[in-house]
C-alpha cells in the first residue's frame, strides 16, 4: 500500500481526478498532496472493423468505419519509483489494483478511415483516452483517522499545535488541531494555504489562448523569432509561438532557448565551493573561508606574515626579531623593550659590560728594606693632653710648694 504507514489504517479511495485526453504512449501526472503518480496510456487497442461498401471500380464507396471494441492499458509510476499496471479496461468500465488505485475509462476516441476499399477494412489512428484516477490513501479527512490523530497530506498524524508553523505545510492550525488545507482543482499549497493557478489546461483559458506554465498566454502567429517571447520559439510547422519547456530546475531563458546554470544552490557545487551568481566559486565572503584565510576574487587565500591572524584579519606584531627594533632595544614577546645594561653600553641589542681599571702594585727597593721609615708617634687628642697635664700637676705639687716657701724666707 503505497500511501499507508506502518500503522494499519482502514484507508480510503480519493475522489477521482480526470485526466486526458492523452494519446497512446503519453503520460498524465496526478498530484496527490506532496506526492504524485504518473499515469501512462501504455496501449490503446481498437478492434478492426469493416465499413459497408457499395459499387465497383471508381464508383465504389464505403460507409463510416464502425467501432467494434476499444480497450486501454495503463502503467502507473509512483513518486517513489515503484510501478503498477492495469490492463484492458473498456470504455465506461473501472479497473482496480487493490489498495493502490482505481481507473475508470471515460472515453476512447480515434480517427478512422477505410484502408482497403475492396474489403472495407478500416484503420484507426490517433487513438486517445480520457480517464479518472483514484489513489488509495490512509485518509481524506480527519474523521478517517483514529482519535487523537488528524489527516495531513493524506496520512494520519498527531495534530496538536499552537500556530500554523507547528503543522505540516499543507495544514493549518485551528483549536490546537492541525487540519488539512482544503484543496482546489488547479493550484498549489504554500504557507499553509491553497493558491489557485490561473490555469492548468488550455481549456481554462479563453479562445485563442494557451495555458503555459499555469498562466494563460495568447497563441500568436509568428514569422520570425522576434515575434515570440524569450521562452518561446517560432515553429516552422505551426507558424505559431510555441512554449519551450525548461530542461532543468536550475537555469533561465536566453535568445529563445533554455540555458542551464552551473548552480542554483550550494549543494549543486563540489565540496569546499559555494554558489554565487549561479556559478560555483571558492568563496563569496570571508565567512566562506577558514579562520586564517580571506576571500579574494572568488578564492580563499591564506594569510601569512609576522603577526596575529584571527577572524580573517592580519594584525602585524611590533617586532618579530631584534632587527625590527632600535639598537638599544631587544624584541621580547613581539615587543621592543630596552636592554638592561647598568654598567657598560648596548651594542647590537646586547649589553657589553664595562671593564674596571686594575690598582698598581709597588715593589720596595733594597735600601728601603734596610732603613725602614720611623713610625711617627701618634698625636694625642685634646682629651689625652688634658689627662697628661692633670697627672703632672699632682706629681710636681710638693716641689712647687717647697720652692715657694724658700723664696718667702729669703725675703
Report d(CA 9, CA 1) in Å as an integer.
11
Question: Maximum CA pair distance of the chain?
Answer: 225
User: Do 293 and 347 sit in the same domain of this protein?
Assistant: no
Model confidence at 344: pLDDT above 90: no
Write the DSSP symbol of residue 176: T
In a domain, 385, yes or no: no
Distance (Å, rounded) from C-alpha 144 to C-alpha 93? Answer: 27
- The reply to whether 44 and 102 lie within a common domain is yes
Q: What pLDDT band is residue 9 in, cutting at 50, 70 and 90?
A: low
Same domain, 333 and 311: no
Mean of all residue pLDDT scores within the chain: 82
Q: Of 74-78, 129-133, 269-273, which range is least confident?
A: 269-273
Residue 390 has pLDDT above 50, yes or no: no
Asked if residue 86 belongs to a domain, the reply is yes
Residue 147 inside a domain? The answer is: no
- 183-212 pLDDT per residue, tens: 888 999 999 999 999 999 999 999 999 999
**92 shares its domain with 206:** no
14-41: per-residue pLDDT in tens?
999 999 888 888 999 998 888 899 999 9
**Domain extent at residue 168:** 159-196
Is 406 or 297 the better-scoring residue by pLDDT?
297
332 and 238 part of one domain: no
The 10 Å Cβ neighbour count of residue 383 is: 8
The shares of helix, strand and coil residues in the chain, as percent rounded to the nearest 5, are: 15, 40, 45
- Cell numbers standing for residue 274: 559555494
Regarding beta strands 344-347 and 350-353, do their DSSP bridges make them parallel or antiparallel, or are they unpaired?
antiparallel
Q: CB 31: neighbour CB atoms within 10 A?
A: 14
Cβ atoms 152, 20 nearer than 8 A: no
Are 283 and 180 in the same domain? no
Q: How many domains does the chain have?
A: 5
Question: Which is higher by pLDDT, 389 or 354?
Answer: 354
Q: Quick one: 17 and 115 in the same domain?
A: yes
Query: Where does the pLDDT of residue 406 fall: very low under 50, low under 70, confident under 90, or very high at 90 and above?
Result: low
Determine the Cα–Cα distance for residues 115 and 53; give it in Å rounded to an integer. Answer: 12
Residue 206, in any domain of the structure: yes
Mean pLDDT value of segment 63-67 = 82
Distance between CA atoms of 39 and 78, rounded to whole angstroms?
Answer: 9
The answer to the question of residue 308 being in a domain is yes
Residues 113 and 84 in one domain: yes
Amino acid at each position: 500500500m503505497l500511501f499507508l504507514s506502518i500503522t494499519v489504517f482502514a484507508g480510503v479511495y480519493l475522489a477521482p481526478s480526470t485526466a486526458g485526453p492523452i494519446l497512446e504512449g503519453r503520460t498524465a501526472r496526478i498530484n496527490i498532496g506532496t506526492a504524485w503518480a504518473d499515469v501512462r496510456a501504455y496501449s490503446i487497442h481498437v478492434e478492426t472493423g469493416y465499413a459497408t461498401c457499395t459499387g465497383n471500380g471508381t464508383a465504389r464507396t464505403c460507409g463510416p468505419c464502425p467501432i467494434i471494441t476499444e480497450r486501454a492499458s495503463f502503467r502507473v509510476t509512483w513518486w517513489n519509483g515503484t510501478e503498477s499496471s492495469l490492463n484492458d479496461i473498456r470504455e465506461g468500465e473501472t479497473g482496480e489494483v487493490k489498495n493502490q488505485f482505481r481507473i475508470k475509462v471515460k472515453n476512447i476516441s480515434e480517427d478512422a478511415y477505410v484502408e482497403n476499399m475492396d474489403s472495407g477494412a478500416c484503420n484507426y489512428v490517433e487513438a486517445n483516452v480520457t480517464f479518472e484516477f483514484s489513489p488509495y490513501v490512509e485518509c481524506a479527512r480527519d474523521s478517517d483517522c483514529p482519535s487523537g490523530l488528524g489527516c495531513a497530506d493524506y496520512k494520519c498524524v498527531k495534530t496538536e499545535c499552537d500556530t500554523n508553523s507547528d503543522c505540516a505545510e499543507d495544514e493549518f492550525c485551528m483549536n490546537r488541531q492541525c487540519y488539512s488545507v482544503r484543496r482546489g482543482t488547479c493550484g498549489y499549497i504554500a504557507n499553509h494555504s491553497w493558491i489557485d493557478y490561473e490555469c492548468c489546461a488550455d481549456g481554462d483559458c479563453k479562445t485563442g489562448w494557451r495555458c503555459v506554465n499555469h498562466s494563460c498566454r495568447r497563441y500568436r502567429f509568428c514569422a520570425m523569432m522576434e515575434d515570440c517571447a524569450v521562452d518561446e520559439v517560432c515553429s516552422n510547422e505551426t507558424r505559431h509561438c510555441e512554449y519551450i519547456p525548461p530542461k532543468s530546475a536550475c537555469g533561465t531563458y536566453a535568445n529563445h532557448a533554455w540555458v542551464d546554470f552551473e548552480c542554483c544552490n550550494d549543494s549543486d557545487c563540489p565540496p569546499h565551493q559555494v554558489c554565487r551568481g549561479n556559478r560555483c566559486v571558492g568563496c563569496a565572503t570571508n565567512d566562506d573561508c577558514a579562520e586564517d584565510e580571506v576571500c579574494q576574487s572568488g578564492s580563499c587565500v591564506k594569510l601569512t606574515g609576522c603577526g596575529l591572524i584571527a577572524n580573517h584579519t592580519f594584525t602585524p606584531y611590533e617586532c618579530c626579531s631584534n632587527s625590527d627594533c632600535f639598537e638599544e632595544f631587544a624584541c621580547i614577546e613581539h615587543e621592543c623593550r630596552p636592554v638592561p645594561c647598568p654598567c657598560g653600553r648596548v651594542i647590537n641589542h646586547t649589553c657589553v659590560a664595562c671593564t674596571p681599571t686594575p690598582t698598581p702594585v709597588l715593589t720596595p727597593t733594597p735600601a728601603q728594606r734596610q732603613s725602614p721609615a720611623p713610625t711617627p708617634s701618634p698625636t694625642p687628642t685634646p682629651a689625652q693632653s688634658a689627662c697628661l697635664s692633670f697627672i703632672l700637676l699632682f706629681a710636681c705639687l710638693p716641689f712647687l710648694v717647697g720652692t715657694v716657701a724658700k723664696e718667702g724666707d729669703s725675703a
